[in-house]
Amino acid sequence: MDEFEEPRAGPPVYALRSVFRVYETRREGDRLLYFGDPIVSPDALERHVWPLFREAGYEVTLQVRTGEHVLVAEPRSTGLDGIPWTNVVMALLTVLTTLFAGVEWYDATVTLDDPLSILQTWPFAVAVLSVLGIHELGHYAMSRYHDVNATLPYFIPVPTIFGTMGAVIKMKGRIPDREALFDIGVAGPLAGLAAAIVVTAVGLQLEPVAAGPVYGLGGLNYPPLIQFIATVTGGELYPPGGRVNPVVVGGWVGMFVTFLNLLPVGQLDGGHLVRAMLGRRQETVGALVPAGLFGLGGYLLFVQEETLQSITLWFFWGFVAIALAYAGPATPVLDDALDRRRMAVGVFTFVLGLLCFTPVPFTFV
């Protein structure tokens, strides 16, 4: 075994003495390795050493290597390292798929002789991408505020009726405490919902599209929040002989995504909020979500006698919720309770999420 040597960049060995008896240190590239024996539980160990390594500029994890316990410290970074080409390429592809999705929403004509005619659907693409992008940038901005390493948004290009399956960011670092978990979790829905409200209000002032059913849909059903916006702005959600301007569909997408993200399970935004608000009791709440979604689907099918095609969504999300509940929520390092102001904001956010809900989001021809 190598000769014991005090680390030059990380916390000194004596600072770990009360929780981890170090008998060897090594450097492995940019990483620091502290071999030793834990003398407290893993949770207590992490609570003690995490702030020390964080202050020194490292993320630390406890690992077991060939039967030995080792604290592995890797350099932290919350900035961008060069051009994020993957993010850029996925964003450009999503612009393309949303432009193509907009062709049918506008009942537009695009030919190979004039491929740039696809650009006539740009308002739809901008509407969808803006509400999704602002949602994820809300998470990203709050991650930077709390000094948590996170990626820029990854847009997901899929040739669906909306041209995308949404966008995500990836959290690379541990979340310090419940306040950071709450702030990061709540920033996305509130930012995205604000964008969706603006997009919907603008879209309701634009000319309707004189066309019939699109993508086999009989129509979109509008949640209470969109109905309220239409009442306030004097917009028409069901124009005679046509459909609302596709920009409204962008706002609808934003609200639908907000509701799904606020399901209080796993590492969805709602799961983050409930974990921050209720602590470990979130797991009990999360376990009830699949049952609620299956129950909703069953009620619509057997009591309301909706078509199975219209409510497959809730059965699908019931299975997704099972997987999310099994994976569990994000766990902050420090688990102190939230203040009352954040608790109130959390309740308000869930109320907004319910205003984005409609039992049957769309019907089919």
Q: With 80 as the cut, is the pLDDT of residue 9 above it?
A: no
Q: What whole-number distance in Å separates Cα of residue 149 and Cα of residue 160?
A: 31
Q: Which residues pair with 219 in a beta bridge?
A: 363
The confidence score (pLDDT) of residue 342 equals 96
Q: How many helices and strands (H and E) does the chain possess? A: 10, 8
Closest to 346 (Cα-Cα) out of 270, 265, 235, 268: 270
> In whole angstroms, how far apart are CA 42 and each of 25, 32, 63?
19, 19, 10
CATH for 13-75, among 3.90.1070, 3.10.450, 3.30.700, 3.40.50? 3.90.1070
Contact 84, 152 (CB under 8 A): yes
Q: What whole-number distance in Å separates Cα of residue 94 and Cα of residue 18?
A: 52
pLDDT tens sequence across 247-256: 999 999 999 9
Output the CA angle 354-343-45, nearest 5 degrees. Answer: 120
The confidence score (pLDDT) of residue 72 equals 93
In the chain, list all ranges with CATH 3.90.1070.
13-75
Q: With 60 as the cut, is the pLDDT of residue 1 above it?
A: no
pLDDT tens sequence across 131-189: 999 999 999 999 999 988 888 999 999 988 999 989 999 887 789 999 999 999 999 99
Could you write out the three-class secondary structure of 173-225?
Answer: CCCCEHHHHHHHHHHHHHHHHHHHHHHHHHHCCCCCECCCCECCEEEECCCHH
